[in-house]
Structure formats: C-alpha cells, structure tokens
Structure 1
Amino acid sequence: MTLVDALGREHLPVPPGEARIVSLVPSITELLCDLGLAASLAGRTGFCIHPAETVRSIPKIGGTKDVNIDKIRKLAPTHLVVNIDENERPTVEALAEFIPHVIVTHPLAPRDNLGLYRLLGGIFGAQEKAEALCAAFEQEYALLQATPKGPPQVMLYCIWQDPWMTVSRDTYIARMMEEIGWQCWALAGSGAGLRYPEFRWSDDVVRAIDGVLLSSEPYRFTEAHVDALERQVGKPVRLLDGEMMSWYGSRAVAGLRYLRGLLTSDG
C-alpha cells in the first residue's frame, strides 16, 4: 500500500519504536493514541485533550497555531502531523526545517477517515488496529445509511459569535451534516470563498434557512445562547456537540453514531 498524505507526498513505514511524533491536531492525537501509538508521541498541543489519562503525560508544545518552536526542537521529533485547516503554513514550514517527516492531513468528508486510519497505521506500524477502526467505521456508517432521513433542510451552522462565523459547504462539518439531510447554508458575495466565513444576521439570511445549529466548540455556545437566538431569529435553534461534528479520526466512529441519534431523536 502506498502511503500518501494530503499533499501527495509519499511516506515510508517506520520501524516499531523508532518514531518520535509531534501532533498539532487534537483529533489526530486521539487517533494516534487509539492506534496504540501513545508511547511514540513526543509532543502535543494544549487542545489535544483526548484520551485525557493518556495525553496527560505527553508534553504540551503550545496551541494549534501558536506552537513553541524551540520546545519542539528540543523534543527531537522524527515526524510532525499537521492539518491544512488547523495549522498555520509558516509554522509548519519553520518546523519542517528540522523535523525530517511532515505528514499533512486534510479529511473533507466522513469516509476520508478510512484513508486517514490506513495512512497513519501504515506509517507507524499499526495496520491491524487501523483496520479494526475501519471496520468499526463501516459498521456505524451502514447503520446511519439505513436510518430513515427526514425532509432536506437548510441549516446555518455557527462556530463563533462576535463576529458570527459559519462553515462553508467544502468542510468536514458540512459533509457530516449532509449525511442526515442537512444542507449547510452558504454565504454569498464577499467572503463566499472562505472556508469559515463571517456573516451578519439579516432578514434574507433568516428566510433562507430552516434552522440554526450552534456548536459547542470552538466557541462555547450553551442552551442560553439557544434560547436567546430563537427569540431573535424566530427559527428552531439547536445546540450540537462540536467534537462529534468536527473531529475526524477515531472519534468519527462515535460521530456517526451521534448523527444517527440526531435522526432518531427527531423521529
């Protein structure tokens, strides 16, 4: 199997125990741990919080965008795992000057997780656990596909306020929504080309949507925000678990189960 990352770069398998990995992606840190590779993790971001007991002993090296380059250098990693959406290109380029192998990820749809499992499992000698994850994913995906869907709806998925921000249709979140018949509302005009654009509430926006989805991350929307926004826009507003909607990697298996729960709770 050829091991090719999101930039089309081929990677070679690493002999067991020889990798020292720094992960700048919370969901991939969790995936690496679930692949049995926690002992190979030399560093992680402060946002890499799962699995809590396991990551507690892994050194923090800053955030996903404001990493401590000197601290990473001292950890002497052999591999860096990054994501196109979550990490800044100048930071990755600076780290690539002294980290031999940079693995770039960019899953855009739920089924992209299968390739992600096999890529990391193949590089780091965890093929068996990667295939087990693939099987678990396929099982949950089949159950989701068999669950009756309601009528299609246009939903505005909010990830931030002050300023208000949403997601474009070319994102993992939007593709997760599509699995249960929710089309992501798309910004027109200025900002339409951005993956995570700002928007302003208007009568036109409210008329174009069937409802609003407030994510629990990165902004910590709560039920209080749900109540206030329902009064403001006069459309149904729902609080969703942001990790289940946006974390690819091993959490995607639970994410598919979460989507199925949204369908059955609406039934």
Structure 2
Amino acid sequence: MMQNNNDEDFLVDASGRRHQPHSGPARIVSLVPSLTELVCDLGLAGQLVGRTGFCIHPRAILKPVPKVGGTKDVNLERLRELAPTHVIVNVDENRRECVEEIAACVPHVIVTHPCTPEDNLPVYRLLGGIFGCEAEAERLCAELAAALDEARAVGASLPLEKVLYLIWREPWMTVARSTYISAMLATVGWQTVPEADEPRYPAFEWDAPWLAGVARVFLSSEPYRFRDSHLAEVAAASGRPAALIDGEMASWYGSRAVAGLRYLTGLRRTLAGVP
C-alpha cells in the first residue's frame, strides 16, 4: 500500500517497514515460492539472483537461478555470497529468527503477509513500486479484480457449502478459517470447517462433531500429494463425496491468485452442474 510522508511516497510492507523505490537494477532473492513467480510475472526475472528449492514456477526461467535452501532452512552463507539488495520473505513461510539474521546483512528485507485474495493487490503494488514496474503491477491488479468479481458472483449465485479441505494424511489434517486457503474457497461460496481460527492446521479424527453438515471433502495436491487412490478411502471414512483439488491454485498467492480464483470458479460451477 502507498503512504504519503513529507510529500514523498513510501511503500510500506507487512511489517510496517517503509521502502523507497530502488534506483537501477536490483539483486533480488525470493524466499517465497509464490512470490518468486510474481517477481517473474512482473518482468523482474533478470534481477532475480536467488530462490528456494521450492520456487519452481516458471520452471524454465528459474532453472538457472541459484538455490539458497528451503523456506524454513535458508543457507545464510550462500545467500550472503549472492549479495542481494532485496530479500522477499513471508510471515507464515519463513522463520522470524532467520529473517532477523538476513536483515542484519541485507539492505532491504521486504515482508509480506497476504491472508485473503484481496491482500494480493497491495503486494503487487508494493513490489511494483519498489522495483519500478508499476504498469505491470496495475495490470495484475486489474486481472485480479476481474477474477474476484467473477468468483464472488458464482459464490453468491449458489448455496453456501461447508467443505473439508485435507492437507495431510496420518494424521488427517485440514485448514482453519484464518488461512489464506479458507479465504480463497470462501470467495466462491465454500466454507471450510472447523469454524475456529486456531490452530491454523488442525489434526482431526473422522468422528469429530464439527464434521456434521460437510457437503464434500477436497484432497489437496500439496503439501501431501493426494492421488486418485485416496478418493475411495476418504469417501468411505467421511461418508461424503470426495474430489481432488489443485493445492497450488488454492494456496499460492501472488500472481497465481488470478489463475487460482478462475480455477476455483470453474470447479465450483462444474461440481454444482452449472455451465
């Protein structure tokens, strides 16, 4: 989001830190897979000098970009060797202690924390303003706004459905209402259970009382890779229809949110039998 201070525009990240537009080429390390994709979609791939091993989209562009470990286990020595001017992190995906160590040696650490699909709009503008690609950011904002309108229209036109979104097996785990995934599903009229906000990723048993009223169960492709072979098991355990769902489309923010909302809109229509 933009703030005005002493007649100068500053870009403010999720930590409240103010960033000024960067002059000249940057050296960007992204420690967030979905935001690495956003960096590329903003036309900044040539300034990306580091990524995590989980940053896999777009594959051809990212293949030559050096890896600096994972989102939770960053190789700080390797990161320092890359001499980044900016490191992009996320409140949920990166450890606070690691981010604090990075901030001690990198000039600019950009903190993000989108919790709803709408929160991607200030993220687009934040990166667009810092790296001088405002036009590309506004293009993405327009695409997201259109996808949000379509998703909300479908959600409003169909009965609200309670759904269970599985992310793990042994133990069975799902998502709380406070998660980005839950907010994405809610846009098209799918309300996740349980209703509580914490814990964010609760384990459960199939006899949990809050499962009453669930219309269908979704089996996500990540972080656990559910497959067709799990559908019968889940349908038998839950007594509800079960379907696979693309986890990247439901959980990746950044530019993927546009395609994600369109995917969920289409899936809601298909499962409801609406053309």
Q: TM-score range by the shorter chain?
A: over 0.9
SS in 1 for 2:212: helix
Q: Contact (CA 8 Å) 1:21, 1:40: kept in 2 or not?
A: yes
Summarize deviations over 1:243-266 as a string: whole Å, max 9, x none: 100111111110111121012212
CA distance in 1, matches of 2:130, 2:119: 17
Matching residue of 2:79 = 72
CA distance in 2, matches of 1:227, 1:16: 55
Q: 2:222 aligned to 217, 221, 246, which one?
A: 217
Summarize deviations over 1:215-249 as a string: whole Å, max 9, x none: 11111011111121101221111211001001111
Kindly, what percent of the aligned residue pairs are identical? 55
Instruction: For 1:16-165, list aligned pairs within 5 A.
Output: 16-17=24-25, 19-147=26-154, 149-165=157-173
Q: Contact (CA 8 Å) 1:159, 1:217: kept in 2 or not?
A: yes
CA distance in 2, matches of 1:114, 1:224: 38
CA distance in 2, matches of 1:58, 1:235: 44
Q: Contact (CA 8 Å) 2:177, 2:195: kept in 1 or not?
A: no
1:198 aligns with 2:180: no
CA distance in 2, matches of 1:116, 1:228: 39
Structure 2 residue runs of 5 or longer lacking an equivalent are 3-9
User: Normalization by structure 2: what TM-score?
Assistant: 0.91
User: Normalization by structure 1: what TM-score?
Assistant: 0.94
Aligned Cα root-mean-square deviation (Å): 1.5
Q: Contact (CA 8 Å) 2:68, 2:78: kept in 1 or not?
A: yes
CA distance in 2, matches of 1:186, 1:14: 44
Q: Contact (CA 8 Å) 2:88, 2:111: kept in 1 or not?
A: yes
Summarize deviations over 1:165-199 as a string: whole Å, max 9, x none: 211111111111111111110266xxx62222222
CA distance in 1, matches of 2:265, 2:198: 30
CA distance in 2, matches of 1:146, 1:201: 33
CA distance in 1, matches of 2:44, 2:33: 14
CA distance in 2, matches of 1:10, 1:165: 37
CA distance in 2, matches of 1:36, 1:151: 40
CA distance in 2, matches of 1:149, 1:60: 45
Structure 1 consecutive aligned stretches of length 4 or more whose deviation exceeds 6 Å = none
Q: Contact (CA 8 Å) 1:187, 1:197: kept in 2 or not?
A: no
SS in 1 for 2:157: coil
CA distance in 1, matches of 2:262, 2:176: 23
Matching residue of 2:260 = 255
